[in-house]
Amino acid sequence: MTLDLKNEEISMLRSELEMLMKERKALLCIAGSAAVFIAELDPEVLPEDTYEAAELLAEYLNEASEETMRDALDVVKAAITADQLPG
C-alpha cells in the first residue's frame, strides 16, 4: 500500500469519525431532551390519545444505557445553562 493511499484512507476514516461524533452529539441532545420532556409530563393533564406515544418514548429511553443517558442529560443541561446566559 502506498503512503498516499494510506494517508487518504486515514483522512477518510477521520472524516467518518468526525461525522459519527457529530451524529452522536445530536442523538444525545434528542435523548436528553426527550428524557426531560417525559420527566416533566403530568399524566393528569396529558391527553389520553398521547399515552401510547409517551409510553413508547419512555420505553426507548429506558433501553439506553445509564452512561448514555448520563451523557445525554449532561448535554441538555449544558444547553439549558448556555441558553440562560445573558446574550
**What digits encode the pLDDT tens for the residues 1-22?**
788 889 999 999 999 999 999 9
**What digits encode the pLDDT tens for the residues 38-85?**
888 888 888 888 989 988 999 999 999 999 999 999 998 877 776 665
H or E element at residue 4 = helix 3-40
pLDDT value of residue 22: 97
pLDDT value of residue 16: 97
> Helix H segments across 41-84?
51-63, 66-84
H or E element at residue 41 = none
Is 72 buried (19+), middle (13-18) or exposed (0-12) by CB count in 10 A?
buried
Angle at 62 between CA 48 and CA 67, to 5 degrees: 145
**Domain coordinates of the chain in residue numbers?**
21-84
